[in-house]
């Protein structure tokens, strides 16, 4: 057998079977995709290349474009570079008046330094952190106005990862809607919802109310809708918790009356308090309620609050019980007969309660209760 294996190995070595490809490395496949936690300006372009483009912009060597900015500022640039980086600027250069070798265009409405940072980005896709922090709103607007998608992504990333604050979120939200930044509008809208009370008293909110009253109204309406939805979610969770507790109480009641639990149970059972640990959390409270019910002198409708609660639990059990003839819970059959004499209004209320209680148990329903149908599991 060993020789056969050796012969097979030699045959495989001497055959023309191609060598299998190597296993994929960690850098292959999906790990090359863009990661949201990494700044988009991180590239594999050598630092020397970026420095060369920055030097070309700063020195203005053989520049042929003069860009006029606010307050008499001037920025020099190269038509081929900025025209290639922005199709809008390319169109402006085609329509610009040429004075000798110089093209003249204007970029106004933003600070002079913001224009310099913008034009520098067109050269090398680089910027300083402090410049981004100071002029991010202007750069965001310029990236949209002059169609520079890469700068747009960079601005969005920085706003999403720290530069979006309660001081600028209202302005960012309006700018995101105006300049078609869907992701940024969603993020800023969530921030406004979260800090609504704080933002509502700011000057930025007052200014938005004057300039965009319909937008301000939509924001207020969305806050009220979100608050109502939150309250509704809390209400439903509380209801589900109550229905679940009632179901557990029904299980504990059957357990006490059928098997007995520690010191309380049917008269024909030999109770052993320390025999085993009870798995029904509701047993302890139910045991106290049963002992009170057995000794209370006010067991009449409208009398003792605790006894009234016990009567309601007994009636609820009778409505969820699958077989009253075999049931050992007291008064189960009596309440079944009482159902026929109840008013239609009370019957509807009880049926709704039974449906919700049975529906709270999604898995492992008790065999002593009625089966849970599709309609029973629907919360009203």
pLDDT of residue 22: 65
pLDDT of residue 309: 87
> Residue 249, CB half-sphere, CA atoms under 13 Å: how many?
22
pLDDT of residue 8: 38
242 & 356 share domain: yes
Give the Cα separation of 125 and 19 in Å (integer).
Answer: 44
Give yes or no for residue 65 having a pLDDT over 80: yes
242 & 349 share domain: yes
Give the Cα separation of 146 and 154 in Å (integer).
Answer: 15
251 & 356 share domain: yes
240 & 346 share domain: yes
Tell me, what CATH number does 307's domain have? Answer: 1.20.1020.10
Nearest alpha-carbon partner for 66 in 82, 55, 86: 82
Give the Cα separation of 193 and 223 in Å (integer).
Answer: 6
Residue 279 lies in domain: 236-268+275-360
Rounded average pLDDT over 360-372: 69
The number of domains in the chain is: 2
Residues of the chain with pLDDT > 70, as a percent, come to: 80
pLDDT of residue 61: 87
pLDDT digits (tens, 9 = 90+) for 299-350: 555 678 888 888 888 888 888 888 888 888 888 888 888 887 778 888 888 8
Domain presence at residue 20: no
Nearest alpha-carbon partner for 331 in 261, 262, 253, 260: 253
pLDDT of residue 100: 79
pLDDT of residue 364: 57
Residues 2-17 as b/e (b if ≥16 CB within 10 A, e otherwise) read eeeeeeeeeeeeeeee
Question: Average pLDDT of the chain?
Answer: 81
Domain presence at residue 328: yes
| Final residue before a domain boundary, out of 159, 188, 222 | 159
pLDDT of residue 80: 93
Rounded average pLDDT over 357-369: 73
Rounded average pLDDT over 75-82: 93
Q: What is the DSSP string of 276-319?
A: S----TTHHHHHHHHHHHHH-S--STTS-HHHHHHHHHHHHHHH
More confident of the two residues 11 and 240: 240
pLDDT digits (tens, 9 = 90+) for 254-300: 888 888 777 777 756 666 666 566 778 888 888 888 888 888 877 55
**Sign of the CA dihedral with 168 first, then 173, 174, and 179 last:** positive
Tell me, what CATH number does 134's domain have? Answer: 3.30.710.10
pLDDT digits (tens, 9 = 90+) for 102-153: 899 999 999 999 999 999 999 988 888 899 999 999 999 999 999 999 999 9
Domain presence at residue 194: no
pLDDT digits (tens, 9 = 90+) for 13-33: 544 556 666 655 554 444 433
pLDDT band for 200, please (50, 70, 90 cuts). Answer: confident
Domain presence at residue 367: no
248 & 151 share domain: no
């Amino acid at each position: 057998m060993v020789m056969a294996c050796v012969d097979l190995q030699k045959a495989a070595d001497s055959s023309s079977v191609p060598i299998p490809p190597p296993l994929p490395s960690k850098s292959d496949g999906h790990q090359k995709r863009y990661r949201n936690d990494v700044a988009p300006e991180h590239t594999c372009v050598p630092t020397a290349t970026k420095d060369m483009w920055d030097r070309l912009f700063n020195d203005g060597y053989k520049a042929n474009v003069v860009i006029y900015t606010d307050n008499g500022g001037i920025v020099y640039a190269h038509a081929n570079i900025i025209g290639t980086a922005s199709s809008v600027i390319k169109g402006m250069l085609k329509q610009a008046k040429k004075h000798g070798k110089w093209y003249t265009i204007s970029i106004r409405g933003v600070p002079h330094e913001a224009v310099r940072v913008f034009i520098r980005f067109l050269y090398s896709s680089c910027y300083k952190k402090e410049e981004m922090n100071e002029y991010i709103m202007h750069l965001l607007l310029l990236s949209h106005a002059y169609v520079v998608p890469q700068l747009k992504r960079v601005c969005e990333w920085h706003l999403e990862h720290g530069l979006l604050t309660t001081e600028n979120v209202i302005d960012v939200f309006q700018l995101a809607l105006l300049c078609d930044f869907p992701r940024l509008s969603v993020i800023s809208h969530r921030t406004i919802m979260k800090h609504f009370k704080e933002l509502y008293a700011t000057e930025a909110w007052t200014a938005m109310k004057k300039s965009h009253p319909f937008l301000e109204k939509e924001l207020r309406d969305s806050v009220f809708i979100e608050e109502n939805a939150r309250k509704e979610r809390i209400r439903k969770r509380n209801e589900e918790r109550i229905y679940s507790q009632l179901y557990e109480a029904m299980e504990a009641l059957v357990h006490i009356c059928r098997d007995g639990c520690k010191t309380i149970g049917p008269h024909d059972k030999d109770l052993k308090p320390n025999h085993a640990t009870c798995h029904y959390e509701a047993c302890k409270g139910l045991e106290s309620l049963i002992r009170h019910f057995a000794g209370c002198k006010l067991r009449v409708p409208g009398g003792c609050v605790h006894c009234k609660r016990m009567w309601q639990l007994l009636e609820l059990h009778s409505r969820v019980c699958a077989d009253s003839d075999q049931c050992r819970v007291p008064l189960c059959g009596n309440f079944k007969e009482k159902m026929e004499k109840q008013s239609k209004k009370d019957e509807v209320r009880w049926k709704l309660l039974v449906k919700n209680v049975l529906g709270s148990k999604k898995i492992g329903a008790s065999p002593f209760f009625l089966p849970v149908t599709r309609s029973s599991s629907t919360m009203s």
